[in-house]
């Protein structure tokens, strides 16, 4: 039998070559393991770097959050400031403020607020002129103020009569700069046509106009639809401002010229 086919020869050769093959495997295996670990470490490092670059936390500068309890749109009042709901003549500076409510019968409920430049203990009151010679009226009227109440510096003044029929002096129990008059003005309206019973012309003037003729006067008309306003004592007699249906009366008219003839539609019964 040849040496290739001899089992004994083959068995004898096994111990001679096997250690050499195993030795080669043993030398390569540690190197392969170290290479795999190095590649894994490098891949992990690159992965973390890419994740950090793409993170929204580092994408750009972030605006600072508002401090707790503070809103960007909130305005804080300064110490000593007092909000006024209706500043202006008659309220915060010397002047007269007329709040006029038209009633369906042609009368007016009026609140007249006055701030005088100096204290007084005598108040002169005067009704609007008769409509006999007033433009837009040209009909005699007999104005009268009823239910008159007067407060001077917040104190109610006792009156001998709550009606005013002509120019008169009203004594005040205390000298005052701030006055508040409430009353109903009647007899100062002329109905224009029978076909439009709501159409009317009315004359208004502050009761206190005679006391301080230079005080700026403002009118607020509600309760009806104002169509026009004429101030016959002004050089420019038309004193309506704006366009219908949002007309108003010129503001700041001197008190001694604040005679106003309104053309308006009175409120109708419901």
Predicted TM-score of the model (pTM): 0.67
Q: Which residues of 16-36 are buried (b: 16+ CB within 10 A; e: fewer)?
A: eeeeeeeeeeeeeeeeeeeee
* Domains held by the chain: number: 1
Condensed to tens digits (0 to 9), the pLDDT of residues 139-175 reads: 999 999 999 999 999 999 999 999 999 999 999 998 9
- Asked whether residue 239 is domain-assigned, the answer is yes
- What is the chain's mean pLDDT, rounded? 77
- Asked whether residue 111 is domain-assigned, the answer is yes
- Asked whether residue 144 is domain-assigned, the answer is yes
Which carries the bigger pLDDT value, residue 64 or residue 214? 214
For β-strands 216-222 and 95-102, DSSP reports them as parallel
CATH number at residue 167: 2.60.40
- Asked whether residue 260 is domain-assigned, the answer is yes
| Residue 124 burial class via C-beta count within 10 angstroms: exposed 0-12, middle 13-18, buried 19 and up | middle
- The conformational region for residue 76 under phi > 0 = left, psi -120 to 50 = alpha, else beta, is beta
Q: Which domain holds residue 218?
A: 95-265
pLDDT greater than 70 at residue 138 = yes
- Asked whether residue 39 is domain-assigned, the answer is no
How confident is the model over 233-253, as a mean pLDDT? 94
| Residue 114 burial class via C-beta count within 10 angstroms: exposed 0-12, middle 13-18, buried 19 and up | buried
């Amino acid at each position: 039998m040849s040496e290739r086919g001899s089992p004994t020869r083959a068995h004898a050769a096994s111990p001679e070559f096997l250690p050499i093959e195993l030795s080669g495997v043993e030398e390569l295996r540690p190197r392969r393991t170290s290479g795999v670990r190095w590649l894994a470490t490098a891949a992990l490092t690159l992965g973390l770097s890419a994740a950090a670059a793409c993170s929204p936390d580092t994408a750009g500068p972030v605006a600072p959050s508002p401090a707790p309890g503070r809103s960007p749109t909130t305005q804080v009042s300064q110490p000593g400031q007092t909000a006024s709901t209706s500043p202006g003549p008659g309220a915060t500076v010397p002047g007269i403020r007329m709040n006029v409510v038209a009633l369906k019968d042609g009368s007016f409920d009026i609140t007249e607020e006055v701030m005088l430049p100096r204290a007084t203990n005598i108040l002169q009151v005067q009704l609007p002129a008769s409509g006999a010679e007033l433009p837009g009226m040209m009909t005699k009227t007999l104005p009268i103020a009823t239910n008159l109440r007067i407060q001077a510096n917040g104190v109610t003044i006792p009156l001998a009569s709550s009606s005013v029929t002509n120019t008169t002096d009203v004594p005040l129990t205390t000298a005052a700069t701030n006055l508040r008059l409430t009353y109903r003005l009647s007899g100062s309206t002329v109905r224009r046509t029978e076909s439009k019973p709501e159409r009317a012309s009315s004359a208004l003037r502050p009761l206190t106009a005679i006391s301080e003729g230079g005080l700026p006067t403002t009118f607020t008309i509600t309760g009806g639809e104002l169509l026009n306003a004429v101030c016959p004592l002004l050089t420019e007699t038309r004193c309506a401002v704006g366009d219908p249906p949002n007309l108003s009366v010129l503001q700041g008219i001197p008190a001694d010229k604040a005679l106003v003839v309104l053309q308006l539609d009175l409120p109708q019964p419901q």
